[in-house]
Amino acid sequence: MRATPPDDIRHLFELQRQASRAQPDVPLTLRRERLLRLSKLLDEHGPLLAAAVQADFGMRSPRLTEVADLFVLRTQLAHTLRHLARWSRPKRVRTPLFLQPARGWIERQPLGVVGVIAPWNYPVQLALAPVIGALAAGNRVMLKPSELTPHTAAQLAALVSQFFAPDEFCVVQGDAASAALLASLPFDHLVFTGSTAVGRRVAQAAAANLTPTTLELGGKSPAIIDADCDIQDAALKIAHGKLFNAGQTCIAPDYVMLPRGNEAVFAEAYRAAVARLFPYFEGNPDYASIISPRHLARLRTLLQQAQTLGAELQVLQPVPGSPAPPPQGIGDGVGRQMAPMLVFGATQAMQLMQEEIFGPVLPVLGYERLDDAIAHINAGPRPLALYWFGRSEAVRDDVLRRTVSGGVSVNDTLMHIAHHNLPFGGVGDSGWGAYHGEIGFLRFCHQKAVLAQSRWSMGRLLYPPYGARFEQAVRLLRRLM
């Protein structure tokens, strides 16, 4: 990966800043045309991007990238283009009686220059999803992909430079130092997706310039299984959510809570679900590898510590008769395709229950009463996602009322992120701000308040000097309020 020199990063930022100030009002036709260019980029070069992701992971099939990255972006672009004209219109608001016959409305204007610092786990989707909202709102965008996916970063940089002028949308490359430089620039908005620890540093750097931020972080997202749940169905959906991208998903179910005594039933159902989704692991192109040896070593360390402290590890085995692992020379990621695991007896003393796992490891915790499960969740930082499985709407609503999370899927996992009319974002330690759909569009807009005064305004009645006329006006207004 060729890192963008710091001076070039500053120059590109200044180029975009000057362009945004020279054109504060970006016509709807130009914003639509930019989105169409981005759509054309994906349509014409999706296979190149998928191949770059495969090269970065070592084992991650183009089909997985199609569904996890490209399809999501295409649907988001189509939705945005369909509704952009309506979202962009000024919004009329009711005027209080004491200000009538004035009129009020809200103008939706571009913020200016938006910075995006993207993660490695979905290196195309999580790089371009906020870009869609920012371009739709009329902003200029600087994108910094993760250094852990250098092939994807280089491919994005090359393609974006073909389709966009550098003062519209550009990609800069580099390591953590480049990301730190980007966070220190006086953007009009900055989006960061990554860990909570790094998110804190990004927020501190942005605060020096009073740059507003959207932080999409992680956390320990629980899956609660209710007593009347169909465990077979829940196990399949939890397995899909947990093992999609080998667990390297910010909203993956991090641990399961189920009524005590059902551990063996759930374990058997989960094994069957995994066998159905992934009959084998090593060499399976649908089962992504862990991104790097360092990340794999971290997961193994978490498991070793948990086992030392008394946890029971259950490694899931391939279905008998599955294809043999290919030679190591076929994709260096084969050796990092970590077999899924269940962990029983995990406690809060274990790092496994203190950190976001970000891998195919699923702790299973038993609870006596639903109150105990809710108390456990509420004792920790607020999660990015929560999953509930059951039949009772009353219990569902009770869980929704008594817990706080970024988003929720009921009787499923992950799927709330695919709903364009639902905001995607965190709360507390799992982040702040949200995007997707109209909410994302508004996140990247300045909503400017406008009051158009009438020549018949009653405001003069409240001007000094304050005397009898003022007293009469106030009494009248109080009766009308």
| Amino acid (1-letter code) at residue 186 | P
Question: Tokens at residue 73, please?
Answer: 């972006």
Q: Is 147 a catalytic residue?
A: no
User: What's the CA gap between 471 and 473, in Å, rounded?
Assistant: 5
Cis geometry, peptide bond prior to residue 360 (ω within 30 degrees of 0):
no
Task: Please name every residue paired with 207 in a beta bridge, in sequence order, or none if there are none.
Answer: none
DSSP-assigned letter for residue 258: E
What is the identity of the amino acid at 286?
D
Residue from 168, 170, 229, 250 carrying the catalytic annotation: 250
Which of 216, 263, 282, 438 is an active site residue?
A: 216
Q: Are 12 and 172 within 8 A, CB to CB? A: yes
250 tagged catalytic? yes
How far is the C-alpha of 143 from the C-alpha of 164, rounded, in Å?
Answer: 13
**Alpha-carbon separation of residue 218 from 44, 46, 66, 320, 385 (angstroms):** 32, 27, 23, 36, 9
250/195 Cα distance (integer angstroms): 9
Question: Hey, what are 301's tokens?
Answer: 């360390």
For residues 173 and 74, give the distance between their C-alpha atoms in angstroms, rounded to a whole number.
24
Q: Which residues are catalytic?
A: 216, 250
